[in-house]
Amino acid sequence: MARAKETVPEINLHDPQYYFNRELSWLEFNRRVLHEALDERTLLLERLKFSAIFSSNLDEFFMVRVAALRQQIEAQVSTLTPDGRSPQEQIDAIGQTLRSMVTEQHRNFEQVLRPALADHGVHILNYIDLNQEQRLYLQDYYEKRIFPVLTPLAVDPGHPFPFISNLSLNLAVVVKDPEDGEEHFARVKVPSSLPRFVQLPAELRQLDGQSGLWMAVPLEQVIAHNLESLFPGMSIQEYYLFRITRDADLEVAEDDADDLLQAIEQELRKRRLGGSVVRIEIQSSMPEALREMLMQEKKVSANQVYEIDGLLNLKDLMSLMSIPLPHLKDSPRTPIIPPKLRSIGEFTSTKSSEEGEEEKDFFAAIRKSDLLVHHPYYSFSLTVQRFIQLAANDPNVLAIKMTLYRTSGDSPIVNALISAAENGKQVVALVELKARFDEENNINWARRLEQAGVHVVYGLVGLKTHTKVVLVVRQEGDRIRRYVHVGTGNYNYKTARLYTDLGLLSCREELGADLTDLFNYLTGYSRQRSYRKLLVSPVNMRDRMTTLIRREIEHCKNGNSGRIIAKMNSLVDPQIIATLYEASRAGVQIDLIIRGICCLRPGLPNISENIRVVSIVGRYLEHSRIFYFQNNGQDELYIGSADWMTRNLDRRVEAVTPIDDPGIAKDLQEILGILLSDNRQAWELQPDGSYIQRRPTNGEPERSSQVILTEMALHAGGFA
C-alpha cells in the first residue's frame, strides 16, 4: 500500500510574530542617527549636528506619532497593529526603549562632545563658572536685550496656570514673599526669538589663561541668574527648566471644507497654540512637588515625563555648525553638471548653431536621450531647476504643469512659474497644502502663484499629492512635444544639497501622455484607471508592484532565478511584506535598502531567509526610491516618489516611472551595487529587530557608498 504524501503545514504570513512594530522600528532608525553623534570616526561638529537631528526627529515623533497613539487610547481604540500591539502597549514600549537613548544622548554631549569642543576653543559655559568681568557683560546684555522681551507669569488663585506653547523652553520659578513668608510659583518663557547661546565678545573669551575661539552661555542661564529684575522685592528660592511638547497634527475634514486653504489656515492657528500635551522634559533635579504640580496642571502621567541631565532641547546645537572650524566638519562638495549636459550652449562658450541645424540646448539634450539626475552629486540648480526656468522663458513653451509638495521659502522654481504665467503660458501648480509642517509655506506659495495668474489646484479630497512630476508642453515646428521630469524628491534646492534623490528627464511620448492624464486626474474629473508606463497611486501601483514581485516567484517556480532589489525610505505595508515573504519562500533573492522604518523581519527560517535588509545613515539623507526586478534576464528598473507604505499605495497620489534607457538602467544597477557594498554607514537588520553596523574586516578598505558616489561623479564624469 502506497504511503500517503506528507502534508506541508500552511504558514500564516500575516502572523504578528513576523512583523516589527512601526513606531519601534522608527526609534531604531533614530538610534542609528544618534550613533553618528557617538561614533568617534565622525568629525566633531558633525557629531554635534547628528545629536541635534536626533532631538529634532524626536520632537516630530512625539507631535505626530505619539500624539496619535494617545488619541487612540482616549478614544478606546482596540485595533491591533500588524505586530499585535494595542495603542497602550506601543506607548509603554516607546517609553521603555526611548529613555535609555535620551540618557545616552545627553551623557555623550555633556561628557564627550562638550569637553572635546572646549579642546578646540569652543566653550559652552555655565554661568556659575564665569569671572566677574564676564558676568558684568552678560548682566548688561540681559538688561538691554533680554529683559524687555520677558514676561513673568504668576500662578495663584487670581492667576490660573498659564498656557505653555508647543516646544517652548521654560523656567519654573519659586519665589518667596519676605513680608508674609509665602512661597509662590511663576513661569518665565525662554524667548525663542533670541539666540539660544549668548556669545561673549572676543576680549572676554578668556578661560584659565587661554583664549577661546567661541564662548557662549545658554540663554536660559543668563535669565535664571538675573531673575531678581523680574520679581523685585521677592526672594528667588529656586528655578528649574522644563519643556513642553504638544499634539501638532492637523485635523481637516476636507469633505466639509468649502475652502481647503482657509480650513488649513484655521488649523494652523490651533497648532500654534498646540493640542494636548504629549511630553514634558524636565531637569532631573526638579523636586517631586514641582514635578507633580506640572503633571497635574498639564494632565500628563509619569510615563510622559522625561528627566534630562544637562541642557534641554539639544536641537539648538545646530547653530554651532556656523563656527569657522572647517577641519571639524565635512568638507564642502560642489555638485557637478551631468556629462550629457556639459556640451550644451549655456554651459559652454559655444553659440547656437545656424538655422537648419539642431541647437545644442537643454531640450535638445533631452531629445537625444533620457537623462538621469542624481542629487546631491549632480547639481539640482543646473538641472531640474534650470529645466523649469528655461521652460518659463522659452517662447516655444506653451504650458508648464507641476506638483509642489515641499519647496524652499525663497524658491526659484516658484519664481519661474510666476514668470511663465506673466509670459502668457498656461501654468498649473498642484500645491499640497497638507504637507506636514510645511502647510504655512505652501499657503504662501499658493497665494503668490494665484496672484500671478497661475492655475493653483489643492489636490484631491482624502489624498495627499506626494508625487514629484513636471510636464512641459513645447511647440516644435509643426508638432507639439512633451518633456517630463519624474523624481523621487521635492523641488527644493536646499534639501537637494542634503538628500540623495533621483530624477528622470525625458520626452518619451508615452510618459508625456501619462503625465497629461495624471494632471487631468488631479485638476478635473477623471476615472483614469490605466496608464501606459507610469505606476500611479492609488490607481494601479499596488497591483503592479505586487505583480512584479509575483513574476519573480513564477520565474523561480519555473526553475529559473529570481532577484529583487528595492531602495526606499520605509517598508510598512503588510500586504507587500507578505508577498515578499512568499517570494523568499519560493527562492527569490531579495535585498532591501531601507533607510528608516522596516516592519519586515529578515532571516527567519522558511519565511524570510532569502531577504536581507540594510539601512544607510550618513552625511546625506538617503531619500531616493529605486526598484529592480531581474525578470529572468530582462531587467526592469523603476524610480519614483513612493515607499512601500500603505499611505503611499492607497492614500497618496504617487508616480513611479520605468527606466527604458539601457544606459540609465546600468547606472542605477551600479548605484544599487555600491550601496549594498557599503561597510561604513550600512547597518544590517537582524531577525530580532536590532541593527548591527558593518565594519571593514581583515584589512578590507572602508567603503562609504556616499563617498564613492561623490568621487565617481567628480572624477569619472558621472555614473555611466
Peptide bond into 538 cis (omega under 30): yes
Q: What is the pLDDT of residues 89-99, one digit of tens each?
A: 999 999 999 99
- DSSP assigned state of 688: T
Residue range 242-271: mean pLDDT, rounded? 59
Work out the number of other CB atoms within 10 angstroms of the CB of residue 357.
8
What's the pLDDT band for 251 if we cut at 50, 70, 90? low
Q: How far apart are the first and last CA of the chain?
A: 65
* Spatial distance between the Cα atoms of 338 and 146, rounded to a whole number of angstroms: 50
pTM above 0.85, yes or no: yes
Which amino acid, one-letter code, is at 563?
Answer: R
Average pLDDT over the chain, rounded to an integer: 89
* Spatial distance between the Cα atoms of 635 and 659, rounded to a whole number of angstroms: 10
Ordered alpha helix ranges (H), 376-508: 384-393, 412-422, 439-451
Query: Would you state the pLDDT for residue 406?
Result: 72
Sign for the pseudo-dihedral over CA of 521, 525, 526, 527: positive
* β-bridge pairing 397-404 and 468-476: antiparallel
Short-list 598, 579, 70, CA closest to 304: 70
Q: Where are the extended beta strands (E) located within 533-581?
A: 535-537, 563-568
How many Cα atoms sit within 13 Å of 81 on the Cβ side? 23
Q: What is the pLDDT of residues 494-512, one digit of tens each?
A: 999 999 999 999 999 999 9
Short-list 567, 606, 600, 574, CA closest to 587: 606
Spatial strand order of the sheet with 197-199 comes to: 122-124, 214-218, 197-199
Residue range 371-384: mean pLDDT, rounded? 95
What domains are there in the chain, each with its CATH number?
17-328 (3.30.1840.10), 360-530 (3.30.870.10), 536-715 (3.30.870.10)
- Say how many residues make up the chain: 720
* Spatial distance between the Cα atoms of 515 and 530, rounded to a whole number of angstroms: 12
- DSSP assigned state of 7: P
Q: Where are the extended beta strands (E) located within 595-700?
A: 611-616, 621-622, 626-629, 636-640, 652-658, 682-685, 691-693
What's the pLDDT band for 436 if we cut at 50, 70, 90? low
Q: Are 226 and 152 in contact (CB under 8 A)?
A: no
Residue range 706-710: mean pLDDT, rounded? 91
Query: Would you state the pLDDT for residue 270?
Result: 53
Percent of the chain residues topping a pLDDT of 70: 89
**Cα dihedral 214/129/305/172 (nearest 10):** -110
Report CA-CA distances (Å) from 129 to 120, 206, 286, 484: 19, 12, 21, 61
Site of grid cell 521652460: 391
**Cα dihedral 121/127/131/133 (nearest 10):** 100
Catalytic residues: 466
* Spatial distance between the Cα atoms of 359 and 393, rounded to a whole number of angstroms: 16
Three-class DSSP labels, 193-258: CCCCEEECCHHHCEECCEECCEEEEEHHHHHHCCHHHCCCCCEEEEEEEEEEEECCCCCCCHHHCC
Peptide bond into 376 cis (omega under 30): yes
Short-list 611, 616, 612, 576, CA closest to 596: 616
State phi, psi for 58 to the nearest 5 degrees: -65, -40
Identify any residues that bridge with 430 across adjacent strands, giving them in sequence order: 403, 457
Q: What is the pLDDT of residues 555-587, one digit of tens each?
A: 999 999 999 999 999 999 999 999 999 999 999
* Spatial distance between the Cα atoms of 213 and 324, rounded to a whole number of angstroms: 9
Query: Would you state the pLDDT for residue 340?
Result: 87
| Collapsed DSSP state (helix, strand, coil) of residue 683 | strand
**Is residue 585 packed enough to be buried (19+ CB in 10 Å), middle (13-18) or exposed (0-12)?**
middle
Which amino acid, one-letter code, is at 364?
Answer: A
What's the pLDDT band for 345 if we cut at 50, 70, 90? low
Which amino acid, one-letter code, is at 167?
Answer: L
